[in-house]
Amino acid sequence: MRHYIKRFSAATKTNVFTYLLVIVSFATAQILQGAGVMSSSLKGQLVPICAYIVMAVSLNLTVGILGELSLGHAGFMSVGAFAGVVAAVSLENIVVIPEVRLALAIIVGAVFAALAGILIGIPVLRLRGDYLAIVTLAFGEIISNIINCLYVGLDSRGLHISVLTSANALGLDPSGQVIINGPVGASGTDKISSFTAGFILILITLVIVQNLIRSRTGRAILAVRDNRISAESVGINITKYKMIAFVVSAALAGAAGVLFALNINTIVPTKFNFNMSILILVFVVLGGLGNIWGSIIAAAVLTVLPEALRGFNNYRMLVYAIVLILIMLLTNSNQIKSFLSRMQSQSPAKGAEKV
């Protein structure tokens, strides 16, 4: 029995460390904000950082835990963002409390992104190899183009949707309001996201992802990643568990999208392009495949970095690239590796973090 207690605590330690990391960072940020020492540009970054962290953790579920490459994670973010904006605007007069409205919008965004995930997953997850990467890459582009010609309006008669025309084709009442205006996107929405909401969303994401990994379902997902032939031989339905991981990942990306979109006045479909997908993938790879707290740190640091490098003016992105390369070299150096493995032998669980 002793061994199980030891093992249990090793797994729990990593999880607790991750929660602590988030809680302490949140508290520090709140204190800095309260003391007035935080720069306004960093203040503006707080909610996007939360959204990116949720994105990175959710993509890690697909790439690190399931072991399938997804190149269209921003597509799910986009689906969630615009579904969430429509929900938030529609509920403006029904649900008065902004926090509740935000929560409802996040749920709607997550559901729509999950549906998109199911739609993509049904044909693709039956296949082996790089098909998921190819299809999600296309999906990201397709979604941004669909929303580019999508018009949604709200008036006293309810929601109006039109494709490939213009906002006039919606035939709104004089009192009506255009929510999504094709390439112009959604503008003039209430900024109801907050840092606290982002913090709570990160915590919920962590509970979902970490509990999922340490359950029967999560072990089946890890089994599929490690050796699909023996996973099948012990009776694990590969497509089903790939689907669960992928859809949960998509739903969380959708939720992050809502948080992101309701933090700014104007959100355009082209914001969620291929570059955004790659940016999230960089967070995941740099933080370590399968390593949840690594994703969190990478997402936070790499979101702040471009702002912090503003002093370099035109050479900003050049320096950013050099920093990326340096981080990669550093995390691959033997000294750092042996240091990390010493840390790992003390706290986190093995396996899930090694790919």
Q: Which residues bind other proteins (CB under 8 A)?
A: 3-4, 6-7, 10, 207-208, 211-212, 215-220, 222-223, 226-227, 229-238, 244, 349-352, 354-355
Residue number, 43 or 354, with CB nearest to other proteins: 354
Those residues whose C-beta lies under 8 Å from the C-beta of residue 305, and which sit 6 or more positions away, are 320, 323
* Rounded Cα distance, 310 and 203, in Å: 31
Residue number, 266 or 345, with CB nearest to other proteins: 345
Shortest reach from residue 302's CB to other proteins, in Å: 26
Shortest reach from residue 3's CB to other proteins, in Å: 5
Those residues whose C-beta lies under 8 Å from the C-beta of residue 138, and which sit 6 or more positions away, are 72
Shortest reach from residue 89's CB to other proteins, in Å: 30
At 131 the three-state DSSP class reads helix
Residue number, 191 or 350, with CB nearest to other proteins: 350
Residue number, 170 or 220, with CB nearest to other proteins: 220
Amino acid sitting at position 290: G
Residue number, 12 or 187, with CB nearest to other proteins: 12
Shortest reach from residue 121's CB to other proteins, in Å: 15
Shortest reach from residue 109's CB to other proteins, in Å: 19
Residue entry with tokens 């995390």:
331
Yes or no: say if 76 and 254 are a contact pair by the CB < 8 Å rule.
yes
Shortest reach from residue 172's CB to other proteins, in Å: 40
Residue entry with tokens 């790879």:
285
Residue number, 300 or 349, with CB nearest to other proteins: 349
Determine what percent of the chain falls in helix, strand and coil, rounding each to the nearest 5: 75, 5, 20
* Rounded Cα distance, 93 and 50, in Å: 27
Shortest reach from residue 69's CB to other proteins, in Å: 18
Shortest reach from residue 220's CB to other proteins, in Å: 6
Residue number, 214 or 316, with CB nearest to other proteins: 214
Those residues whose C-beta lies under 8 Å from the C-beta of residue 106, and which sit 6 or more positions away, are 84, 201, 255, 258, 259
* Rounded Cα distance, 55 and 202, in Å: 10
DSSP string for residues in 81-106: HHHHHHHHHHTTTT---HHHHHHHHH
Residue number, 218 or 294, with CB nearest to other proteins: 218
* Rounded Cα distance, 67 and 355, in Å: 9
For residue 303, what are the β-bridge partners? Answer: none
